[in-house]
Chains A and B, each alone.
Chain A
Amino acid sequence: MIDKKVMISLKNITKKFGHATVVNQLNLDIYEGEMLTLLGSSGCGKSTTLNMITGSLTPDNGEIHIRGNDLTHVPSHKREIGLVFQNFALFPHMTVFEIVEFPLKIRKENKKERKVKVMEMLRLVQLDHLAERYPRELSGGQQQRVGLARALIYQPKVVLFDEPLSNLDAKLREELRFEIMNLKDKLKFTSIYVTHDQEEALTLSDRIAVMKNGVIQQLGTPLEIYNEPQTPFVADFVGISNKIVGQCVGKDNGHASIQMDGFQLRGLVKHDEIQNGDKVIIFIRPEDIQFGNECSTKENTLQGEVRNIVFSGERKECMVGVAEGETIRLYMNKQSDIAIGQGLFVHLPSDSCKIFKFFANE
């Protein structure tokens, strides 16, 4: 992005519910045309942040600017943003047509134009044949398409998504994910997408903000978030990782040697300050692990035994026991004929082993 125009700007916003600080001095700029995802588990403050942008909550502190205007205390019906809800929140007494027409009706648009626009939008979300149906007569996926159409019909510059796919089953989720991407390409809106589903976040977003306890842990592109987690929380939360706990026994330019019970690994230290003797945790992704029947290099290679194999369709997931109480998860080709009980050498490339200070989850 060369010409980065800030569309939404959250300035130092804080929200407390009673004594609990749900969002803590959050600063975030969202650029025009981008899709930014707030990713986190429940209670991390992502939905509260979204609700403050829509106007259903007011921040205790800080300001919300949309297109340069301070909207912190503007009621939600004057904010001109689109919102897609997790539970669809369709008007139960209206037909699909009437629901999508509603924002235009409120804006007192000409009735004929309204009809043309609504039908065009319904075609876009492939619902034109269901215009006369009521929400209760539609499937979940169709209902959320109505939700999308209602949010987009008045061409808002900003569209917010509040876990829009989490009430749908896996197949539909993926289908609608691509539909949202297509609609975004066509209509060119700026969007904030709230989800706890990291796969959704990785596939949909231009940038991801990983949140925990009301604070952004890391902000970056999906690639950065996945490959270069800056905190152990992000490393743990996004994607699947092997976690190995040990003690730092030596350091040399950016790398550290970690002693575990019965074996030693070398890994990359990037974001945490680590001293000799510190308790640390190593993250390594299953897909980065190499394996074979022979030992090619000595460093970071462990001998183990296949304990369990799970076939997941696209691949085989293999648990290899490498030491007392330590198993390593790795992925194999689905055709591979490795059997349980078989001996195996696993190599954990030192640049894929990311070392952080040990943290207790919660």
Chain B
Amino acid sequence: MNPITHSIRAVRTGKKVVIYAFLLGFALFILSPFAVIIVSAFGEGWFGARWLPESWGIRWFQWAFQMTDLVQVTMNSFVIAALTIVISLLIGVPTAWAIGKRKLRAKELLIALILLPRMIPELTYALGTAKIFYTLDLINTHLGVALAHSTITIPYVVLIMSATFEALEQRVIDAGGVCGANWFQRFLYLVIPMSMPGILAAVIFVFVTSFNEFTLSMMTYGPQTVTLPIQTYLSIGDGYKEVASAISVILLIPSILILGVIVKQIKPENLSGGVKGL
């Protein structure tokens, strides 16, 4: 073999090895905490310095359901996430419309103000929120936790939706007007369907953020509004690491399902001009 092609091959193989090593390292880095959680949730008799547990089972899940009000807790998480979605869209979408479609004075200042809750340390923000909520009697209500979550999800909605609205072709909406549609019909039949990819992205983002949110929930929850992350934390505090692992596996499910949807449904070609069938 020609020595030059030989050395080129060697370099190529070397490159490949390096790339795969990096990929593997990255995967390990990202996935190993999940692996540990899953092993400790399903493993029984996992003591000492052993690599893997003695046996597998769903005992910790049974414990989780016996020791905590897991059905109620899961419900709380979903109700709060749903409320957060509604509040965030109600406030975020009109704001995004104003930013994306209208000529505003001091637009940058407005955007900075909207992003502020995301910029300052969450704990600081949560502390202030808690104080206000105690005064307003919003502690231990679903609405209260959802409102707290909304302060950090609204910036996402505004950012995603203002970019979506900005990209909408005004001519197309005008065409609806010439066809006889008033502003409400234009919004309902044209703007919303055409913005569907953005709306979907915003809803997913808000849901995941609210479902997984810890700090703000921690400062605003009460006995009736314990969420899955809070319950996980409480179980750790009680000394049941395996139960906490089992709860966090449950906590993982929606995020993984949504990730599947994202990978399958939201393809770049769908992002321009509406998702079919929605």
- Mark A residues whose CB is within 8 Å of B: 54-56, 75-83, 85, 87, 89-93, 102-103, 106-107, 134, 136, 150-151, 154
Contacts and interface: CB of A to CB of B under 8 A. Distances in A.
Given A77-B180, A92-B273, 13 more contacts: A75-B182, A76-B178, A77-B181, A83-B178, A89-B171, A89-B172, A93-B194, A102-B176, A102-B181, A102-B189, A106-B181, A106-B185, A154-B179
Contact of A91 (B175, B177, B275): B175
Given A56-B174, A87-B171, A93 B274 contact: yes
Interface centre among B169, B179, B185 (most CB of A within 10 A): B179
B103 to A, nearest CB: 14
Contacts of B196: 93
- Greatest chain B CB density within 10 A among A81, A102, A134, A151 is at A102
The 4 closest A-B pairs by CB, nearest first: A93-B274, A92-B273, A89-B175, A103-B179
Interface in B147-200: 169, 171-172, 174-182, 185, 189-190, 193-194, 196
B194 A92 contact: yes
B172 A75 contact: no
B6 interface: no
Nearest to A92: B273
Contact of A77 (B178, B189, B273): B178
A106 B180 contact: yes
Given A93-B194, A134-B276, A82 B178 contact: yes
B172 A55 contact: no
A333 to B, nearest CB: 46
Contact of B180 (A56, A134, A154): A154
Nearest to B173: A89
Contacts of A56: 174, 177
A54 B276 CA distance: 31
B172 A91 contact: yes
A103 B186 CA distance: 11
Interface in B181-231: 181-182, 185, 189-190, 193-194, 196
B180 A103 contact: yes
Nearest to B185: A106
Given A89-B169, A89-B171, A93-B194, A107 B274 contact: no
A136 B273 contact: yes
B77 to A, nearest CB: 33
Nearest to B186: A77
Contact of B175 (A55, A85, A93, A136): A85
Contacts of A91: 172, 175-176, 190, 194
A343 to B, nearest CB: 56
Given A102-B189, A103-B180, A136-B273, A90 B172 contact: yes
B172 A92 contact: yes
Interface in B67-124: none
28 contacts: A54-B174, A54-B178, A55-B177, A56-B174, A75-B177, A76-B174, A77-B178, A77-B179, A77-B182, A82-B178, A89-B171, A89-B175, A90-B172, A91-B175, A91-B194, A92-B194, A92-B272, A92-B274, A93-B273, A93-B275, A102-B176, A102-B189, A103-B179, A103-B180, A106-B179, A106-B185, A150-B175, A154-B179
A345 to B, nearest CB: 55
A182 to B, nearest CB: 23
Interface string B242-278: 0000000000000000000000000000001111101
Contacts of A82: 178
A135 to B, nearest CB: 8
A58 to B, nearest CB: 14
A106 B180 CA distance: 6
B90 to A, nearest CB: 23
Nearest to A105: B189
A80 B194 contact: no
Given A92-B273, A93-B196, A107-B180, A83 B185 contact: no
Nearest to A56: B174
Contacts of B174: 54, 56, 76, 89
A137 B276 CA distance: 13
B73 to A, nearest CB: 39
A185 B178 CA distance: 23
Contacts of B176: 91, 102
A160 to B, nearest CB: 8
A80 B180 contact: yes
Contacts of B272: 92
B177 to A, nearest CB: 4
Contacts of A92: 172, 194, 272-274
A87 B273 CA distance: 15
A79 B178 CA distance: 8
Contacts of B275: 93
A138 to B, nearest CB: 13
A254 B185 CA distance: 62
A92 B274 CA distance: 7
Contact of A102 (B179, B182, B273, B278): B179
Nearest to B189: A102
A161 to B, nearest CB: 12
B175 A83 contact: yes
B160 to A, nearest CB: 18
A77 B185 CA distance: 10
A76 B178 CA distance: 6
